[in-house]
Amino acid sequence: MTEPQYYQKLKTIVSPYLPDDVSVDEIGMDSHFLKELNINSANLVDIVLDVEDEFDIVLENEDMEAMQTVRDAMVIIERKRSS
């Protein structure tokens, strides 16, 4: 899977969890899920669970903690898929 494909898939996963005042267009590679996209920690758990289903991977607590931005998520997904 190419980088733009990962990015597109992540955007699709994240968008339903965005608060009303943040639009999909505001999602960038370096967007911080909690601080910039204003996603709360409860919804971030659901995003991580959706990522697991979409990419068929299992994430651990440390992955969850490391997944702060869209780019972080892409790096972690890529690593899990290739291991």
Site residues, another protein (CB under 8 A): 40-42, 45-46, 48-49, 61, 64
Cβ at position 39, least distance to another protein in Å: 12
Show the tokens assigned to 59.
């994430």
Closer CB to another protein, residue 2 or residue 58? 58
H runs (alpha helix) in 1-83: 3-14, 41-55, 61-66, 70-82
Cβ at position 55, least distance to another protein in Å: 16
Cβ at position 7, least distance to another protein in Å: 23
Closer CB to another protein, residue 29 or residue 45? 45
CB environment 38-66: b (16+ within 10 A), e (fewer): ebeeebbeebbebbeeebebebeeebeee
DSSP-assigned letter for residue 37? S
Closer CB to another protein, residue 24 or residue 49? 49
